[in-house]
A = this chain, B = another copy of it.
Amino acid sequence: MASSAPSSSAGDMDPNTANLRQPATSFLQKNNSLDEKSRMVGAFKESAKNQRDNSERFTRDETDFSNLFARDLLPAKNGEEPTIQFLLEVVEILTNYVRKTFDRSTKVLDFHHPHQLLEGMEGFNLELSDQPESLEQILVDCRDTLKYGVRTGHPRFFNQLSSGLDIIGLAGEWLTSTANTNMFTYEIAPVFVLMEQLTLKKMREMIGWPNGDGDGLFSPGGAISNMYSVMVARYKYYPEVKTKGMSVAPRLVLFTSEHSHYSIKKAGAVLGFGKENVILLKTDERGRVIPADLEAKIIDAKQKGYVPLFVNATGGTTVYGAFDPINDIADICEKYDLWLHVDGAWGGGLLMSRKHRHKLSGIERANSVTWNPHKMMGVPLQCSAILVRDKGILQGCNSMCAGYLFQPDKQYDVNYDTGDKAIQCGRHVDIFKFWLMWKAKGTIGFEQHIDRCLDLSEYLYNKIKNREGYEMVFEGQPQHTNVCFWYIPPSLRGMPQGDERREKLHRVAPKIKALMMECGTTMVGYQPQGDKVNFFRMVVSNHAVTMSDIDFLIDEIERLGHDL
């Protein structure tokens, strides 16, 4: 095989000389000198060799799994060999899936309705029973689970903000599940706790907080991260709510845009503010908050006797990919002493790009930031960070000091125990895959990924903005990879504007999407927004996508939509 020679697809840099290139901006720090680096690489190789010599190399047998059961695997006596062979068989299924994921001749999905899958496909029965199945059957179930699923890493899967299958991230997840531990104490997750700490600091440096100071956690998704932001804001201004409840606070109001993610409103409902106390701000035609509307609504709320508490600015909205003007919003937050949160779940990744990070300018003035590496940065789901500027506030807000878990008399520095800062008790290890990807790609690798995705969406925008049969949902080049458009089938092209056309157009995207899913060729999202009828929202976050896949999507929309 050719892989030991430098690959032709390896990009434009030789990694052994790449350190000689000086970084242009402050976030690209910490280059080891060439000398130091080559010395380290030498030591690593030696250490790798030693470790490898100490461990057994596996070999594969043709095992008959039809008479083997879970109980024959480790820790069973003589369970080692069947265990290894079973895991290798699973790995074969998985590596074949990985191969096919990147193969454009493979479908994105093989769609079935719920009732079809529930009735049972041939040999694939979802029902659970009292008696065990053989490992042969378990392997069949694994294959079928993948067969009837959706290939979210396929180059033509554009359906969600998180897509793609990163091989390093995948390896990281496999290791994480093998380690099977819990982030709540240093005691049982020493390496992962430190990786989380270092990675969060690096993220805070990129946000621009001095020395990367502050705090943070990885949480189970952006909605929970956003919920944390509202909780800490409340704790900062009304710490007694923790003890006495919302009844001791005045009527508090939160502000977020009409285009923001619904999780801010949900946080308002969950945390006891009430969703009607989450006030929606007007946006311009591009989906960006109008700062004057924020100020007007703050004044209005105060006049009604309510107390403004919190403003969310979105860095990359879900549908339009819009970036709210953070600096203008921060000015208003300072003026009225409000907590400023930036929901960068989708757009936060742009901080890694020297070309695009200006879209988040002002983020360093935020009190808290949500940033989901599992979206724009291609890290496997789930990987979402909540970052806060004030160091002690997560602990203050959430600690319950449970003596049975967070004992103060351990032999190590218990400040490294993270459990009491979280609203969870047990917490899944979401950091390792991200840390490993960062090691493997470098900051520069994430930057290239992000720039490339934005270039691809620019390509799409340029391709369709004047193309017959397309209308853009908003004018001008998108800020993020979101390209929002209507496809107008020939039958609607001559039709005058009005309710009939609107109703017909509203049904076009769902019909095309349904056909796409039946064909299994590609997937892309659609939705209405405000008074705009259903339109397609194309996003690119998958590193496997090329221009040809964008072309394919457009061809497919036209093929499926032409006769509607």
Contacts and interface: CB of A to CB of B under 8 A. Distances in A.
Contacts of A380: 177, 180
Given A130-B30, A244-B276, A76 B9 contact: yes
Contacts of A41: 66, 134, 137
A247 B244 contact: no
A247 to B, nearest CB: 6
Interface stretch (A117-125, A291-299, A461-469, A494-502): A117-125
Contacts of A382: 426-428
Given A86-B167, A167-B83, A442-B131, A178 B56 contact: no
Number of copies: 2
A71 B1 contact: no
Contact of A146 (B7, B73, B175, B241): B175
A221 B176 CA distance: 17
Nearest to A234: B272
Interface string A229-262: 0010000000001111111100100000000011
A507 B171 CA distance: 42
A315 interface: no
B55 A191 contact: no
A547 interface: no
B31 A423 contact: no
Given A247-B251, A275-B243, A91 B92 contact: no
Contact of A3 (B78, B261, B268): B78
Interface residues of A, number: 223
A440 B7 contact: no
B170 A178 contact: yes
Contacts of A526: 407
Given A129-B32, A246-B246, A528-B403, A174 B91 contact: yes
A23 B130 contact: yes
A413 B358 CA distance: 43
Interface stretch (A151-159, A323-331, A361-369): A151-159
B179 A145 contact: yes
B246 A272 contact: yes
Contact of A439 (B138, B265, B432): B138
Interface string A417-444: 0000001111110001001111111111
B404 A537 contact: yes
Given A136-B44, A400-B265, A148 B68 contact: no
Contacts of A193: 114
Interface stretch (A97-105, A333-341, A553-561): A97-105
Contact of A191 (B115, B117, B527): B117
A62 to B, nearest CB: 9
A80 interface: yes
Contacts of A510: 407, 409-411
Given A7-B68, A71-B9, A149 B179 contact: yes
Contacts of A47: 122-123, 140
A299 B476 CA distance: 65
Nearest to A133: B439
Contacts of A523: 187-188
23 contacts: A7-B68, A7-B76, A9-B72, A31-B130, A32-B129, A51-B140, A55-B92, A55-B96, A69-B440, A70-B437, A74-B99, A132-B442, A150-B181, A174-B177, A220-B424, A222-B425, A245-B246, A265-B400, A270-B423, A381-B426, A404-B527, A410-B510, A428-B428
